[in-house]
Amino acid sequence: MKKILIVDDEPNIVMSLEYTLKRNNFEVFIARDGSEALEILKTNIPDLVLLDIMMPEVDGYETLKRIRLEEKLNDTKVVFLSAKNKASDIEKGLTLGAVKYITKPFSIKKIVSDINELLN
């Protein structure tokens, strides 16, 4: 079973993603911000991280920078899910090492499709 870490501080988005991903046979972990995500990543290595950018404490950009410093997480794919939709935001996210950048609002079906494509 593939593992996915959802990192987002919006409860409705987390609930919707968690429900849908579990129904699609993914094991799901939840973090409400970047520091919580980094704690989870010490003991659980997901196949993919869905990462919001605008969060309290440690934002998504900084979280991804720290993920990329960990050798054991080199194969972990990171997908940004963000309301930040400027070309410069998207470019920054991809330059930092995200494999995909999806803007909010998004289609749950499309996200599941993208995840399946990235993990197969």
pLDDT in tens, 18-74: 999 999 999 999 999 999 999 999 999 999 999 999 998 899 999 999 999 999 998
pLDDT, average across residues 95-111: 95
Could you check whether the bond before residue 105 is cis, i.e. omega within 30 degrees of 0?
yes
pLDDT given at position 8 = 97
Distance (Å, whole) CA 43 – CA 50: 17
Instruction: Name every residue whose Cβ is closer than 8 Å to that of residue 111 and which is 6 or more positions away in sequence.
Output: 17, 20, 50, 81, 102
Distance (Å, whole) CA 79 – CA 100: 5
Distance (Å, whole) CA 74 – CA 58: 20
| All domains in the chain, ordered by first residue | 3-113 (3.40.50.2300)
Cβ contact 28:8 at 8 Å: no
pLDDT given at position 92 = 96
Instruction: Name the percent of the chain lying above pLDDT 90.
Output: 96
Distance (Å, whole) CA 64 – CA 116: 21
